[in-house]
Amino acid sequence: MSPKDAYHHGNLRRALLDDALAVIREKGMDGLSLRAVAAGAGVSHAAPYHHFKDKAALVDALAAEAAALLDERMAAAADGAGAGPREQLMALGMAYVAFAVDSPEHYAAFTASPRTAPESGGASEAAAYGVIAWSRLLGAVSACQAAGVLPPGDSVIAGAALWSLVHGLAELWRTGQLAQLPQAADGLEPLARRVLQASIGSPGSGSQAQ
């Protein structure tokens, strides 16, 4: 359903979100504004303010949606990965990379959203949703440490390192920095798999613990 169709069916908020994704796809995050979204949805410039008080609120709503979609993808990847802790962790990391490739508009909003609510200083909606995905990653890291796949130590630090790794891969790919590598000829996902295997090993490899 197009944004205008959604609006005519009485769901203006959904129409605005869909049109915001279209704006990001065409113009990037810098081109996103409530005025541009209103124009795309075929409504007045004031109409979006009934649902989003400003651009930050719109981006946060998109980011919350993105975080939920990311966690769904991570959960599905983990379910299909088997019981091994290394395989579970690899699946979660690859799910993040695949999300960045397959849903670049949602990914852009997810990474651009403020992590605190400016008025209250509390967690944003996107951050609240993101806690679930982070907890999933942290659990997989802890399981790998317990199994000797990863060195023992602070699981939060180890989790942050792996999150930084997959996020960095996605960002470097998005900006074209990795595309020049011969190893990237088949796309981001095969490259990311090799990079992750270099960090946590491949199935059947020995312990990475020191």
Q: What pLDDT tens digit does each residue of the chain (210 aa) get?
A: 454 554 554 689 999 999 999 999 999 999 999 999 999 889 999 999 999 999 999 998 999 899 889 989 999 999 998 889 999 999 999 999 999 999 999 999 998 876 544 444 445 666 666 788 889 899 999 999 999 999 999 999 999 999 999 999 999 998 889 988 999 999 999 999 999 999 988 765 554 443
Place of tokens 């020049």: 180
Domains of the chain as residue ranges with CATH: 1-52 (1.10.10), 55-200 (1.10.357.10)
pTM (2 d.p.): 0.82
Nearest 5°: CA angle at 3, between 131 and 32? 60
- The DSSP bridge partners found for residue 27 are none
CA atoms in the 13 A half-sphere facing the CB of 113: 27
Q: Are 125 and 61 in contact (CB under 8 A)?
A: yes
Helix, strand, coil abundance in the chain, percent, nearest 5: 70, 0, 30
